[in-house]
């Protein structure tokens, strides 16, 4: 796991188009840490619940937690219908289904092994930036990706 974390650190110290991405990768690494805490809480307090119920409960609580921020930062102009539809699709299809599969994975293989997939978050962020935003891929990013993927692969062997 330390090798995977080292990969995230290597990725965090990379420069893309002259801009440091350290803060963004720190946010991704913090999310990974919180996933690790969350999987253990889910295993301890939600064992026996259907995956869909656990996903609905956690995402519902997260929505309520974020509601004050949304209300205080509401845009001045009307939000287009397309933006609302995109938000619903991202929330339900992408996040909702991902959490459903993640909680099912926790139940099947346990929180320790399931949490290793969170190391892939920064890697996929960099890959999607390359695929969709035409951001350059550096040697440092490839090294980080190899470290992350290698550590996840080794940690999944019994």
pLDDT digits (tens, 9 = 90+) for 1-28: 677 667 767 766 665 555 666 777 677 6
Smallest CA-to-CA distance from 16 within 122, 119, 118, 120 is with 122
- Predicted TM-score of the model (pTM): 0.68
Nearest-5° Cα angle at 95, 99 to 78: 150
d(CA 92, CA 7): 30
Q: What pLDDT was estimated at residue 147?
A: 83
Q: 39 with 99: CB under 8 angstroms?
A: no
pLDDT in tens, the chain (158 residues): 677 667 767 766 665 555 666 777 677 678 777 877 888 888 888 888 888 898 898 889 989 999 999 999 999 999 999 999 999 999 888 889 988 998 888 888 888 788 777 777 777 888 888 899 998 888 888 888 888 888 878 877 76
């Amino acid at each position: 796991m330390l090798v995977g974390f080292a990969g995230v650190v290597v990725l965090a110290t990379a420069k893309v188009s002259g801009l440091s991405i350290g803060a963004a990768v720190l946010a991704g690494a913090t999310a990974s840490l919180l996933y690790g805490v969350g999987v253990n809480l889910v295993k301890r307090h939600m064992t026996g619940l259907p995956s869909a119920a656990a996903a609905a409960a956690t995402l519902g609580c997260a929505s309520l937690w974020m509601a004050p921020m949304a209300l205080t930062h509401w845009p001045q102009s009307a939000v287009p219908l397309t933006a609302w539809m995109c938000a619903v699709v991202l929330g339900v299809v992408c996040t909702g289904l991902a959490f459903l599969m993640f909680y099912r994975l926790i139940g099947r293989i346990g929180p320790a092994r399931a949490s290793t997939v969170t190391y892939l978050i920064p890697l996929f962020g960099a890959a999607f930036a390359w695929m969709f935003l035409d951001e350059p891929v550096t040697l440092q990013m490839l090294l980080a990706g190899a470290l992350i993927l290698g550590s996840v692969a080794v940690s999944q062997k019994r």
